[in-house]
Amino acid sequence: MALFGTDGIRGLANRDLTAELALDVAVAAAHILVESLGSTQQRPRAIVGQDSRASGEFLEAAIVAGLTSAGVDVYRVGVLPTPAIAFLVADSGADLGVMISASHNPMPDNGIKLFSRGGGKLDDVLEAAIEARMREPWERPTGRNVGRAINDDTATERYLKHLLASVETKLTGLKVVVDCANGAASHVAPVALRRAGAEVIAISDQPNGWNINENCGSTHVESLRAKVLETGADIGIAHDGDADRCLAIDGAGNDIDGDQILTILALGLKSRGQLKGNVVVGTVMSNLGFMEAMKQADIKVITTPVGDRYVLEKMIESDFSLGGEQSGHVILRQFANTGDGILTALQLLQAVKRSGKSAHDLASVMTRFPQVLINIKDVAKERLMESVAIRDAVRAAEAELGESGRVLLRTSGTEPLIRVMVEAPSDSVALGIAERLAEVVVQELG
C-alpha cells in the first residue's frame, strides 16, 4: 500500500506513523534535495512546523534529526498552520517544508505534509521517489557538512503580516466568534482578526496537546453555533486542526459551508473584475446548489478529484484565481498557493463588510441540495472498484434520481474509509439511498 495519500502521510501516531518512519522519510527527502542542488555547494534549507498534537513533539525531533543528519539546515517554527509553512517556504526561499499534522483527524492520529520550493505540495512523482528511496544505503556527512537546527522566532509575525496584507477593507464593526479547534490556529487566528479590525471572541483556543479537534473546530460546529447565538455575533468562523480549512456560522446560527464561501468569494471577485477566466475550480463533491448558483451568475465551474492539491494543480495549469472544496479548503491564488483557513476567513469577512449585508443574506444566494455523507470504516476500501454488486447498486440509485440528484462513492485519501455521498431533492430520499448503498458496501467489502 502506498505510503502517501492525497494529503501526505497520515496514520495513528506511534503505531502507523512512528519516529523511525518519520526519520526515514526525512532522510530520503533530504537525499533528493541534495542531489537536485547538484554541485552548487549551497546547503539545502527546510522549514519544519507542527500543529498542537503531543505526538508532534517526537515526530518533529525525528524529522529534524533525519534532515540535519543528511546535511540539511532546519528552521523550526513551532506550532503554526499548514498554510503558514507553505508561505514561509516561499518567503524564505527554502528548499523544503515539512508540516506535522493530521488536519481534522482525531488527536491520536498525526501526519507529515511535504512542500517543495515555492511552497507547493509535492507532486505524486516526488512522493513516489521519496518512498522508493527510504532506507537506502548512504554515505553520511560529517563535521561541518551536517545540517544545523535553528529556532525561527520571526515566523509567526511574518505570517501574520502576509495575512493582513490581503485585507483592503477594515473589519471594524464586525463581531466574530472564531473556533480555533485547540489547534494550529489558536495563536494566530484571533490576532489576525483583531488586527484586521474585528471584535473577536475566541473559543477552543487553549491547546494542551490532547484536545485538538475534540468536540470543536470545523468538524464539530455545535459550540461555535451556540456561542454565536449567545453573544449576538455577526458570524462564527471554524477552523480545523491545522487551520487550512474555514467554515462559518451566520448570525442566525445557520451553517455556511465551503461551497457557499466559494460562491460569496466568486461573486465578489467577478464584480471587481478579478475572477480570472470567469472560472471557479471545484471538486466532484461540490454541491449541485453551488453548480446552479454559478450557472445563474454566468460563472463556469471546472471540477477535479477530491483534494486541494488537485484543485491547485488545475488552477496553476490554467491560471485560475479561485478554487476550493465543500469541506472549507479555499485557494485564493492572488495571495497563496494553498488552502488557508485564516486567509479565507479574512476574505469572507471582507465580503460581508463590503456588501453591507449579513453573512446569511450573502450565503443565501446559493441553495444547498440536501446531501448525505456516510463514512464506512473497517472495509477493504482498495477493492471498491472491483465489486460488480456495488457498481450495479450505484447505477440503480442514479436511475432512481435521474437529474434531480447524484451519487458518489469514493475511498478517502486521508483515512481508512469509503465515503458514500448522495444528493437528492429531500433529506429523506438522500438518506434512504445512502443507507442502501452503505449496506451493499458493507456486505461486499466488510
Q: Which residues are known catalytic residues?
A: 103
Q: Cell 515539512 belongs to which residue?
A: 98
Question: Residue 100, Cα to own-chain centre: how many angstroms?
Answer: 13
Q: Tell me the torsion sign for CA atoms 219, 398, 307, 10.
A: positive
Q: Which residues lie across from 72 on neighbouring strands?
A: none
Beta carbons of 348 and 262 less than 8 angstroms apart: no
Q: Which residues, 6 or more positions from 273, have their beta carbon under 8 angstroms from its beta carbon?
A: none
Which helix (H) or strand (E) covers residue 327, if one does?
A: none
Q: How far apart are CA 340 and CA 336, in angstroms?
A: 8
Which cell goes with 157?
A: 509575525
Q: Cell 476500501 belongs to which residue?
A: 381
- Sheet containing strand 371-377, edge to edge, reads 371-377, 417-423, 406-411
Backbone phi and psi for residue 322, each to the nearest 5 degrees, phi listed first: -140, 135
Q: Cell 499534522 belongs to which residue?
A: 101
Beta carbons of 233 and 227 less than 8 angstroms apart: yes
Which regions of 59-214 does DSSP assign to beta strands (E)?
A: 73-79, 96-100, 109-115, 149-151, 175-179, 199-203
By three-state DSSP, how is residue 28 classified?
A: helix
Angle 80-104-192 from CA coordinates, rounded to 5°: 35
Q: How far apart are CA 180 and CA 348, in angstroms?
A: 17
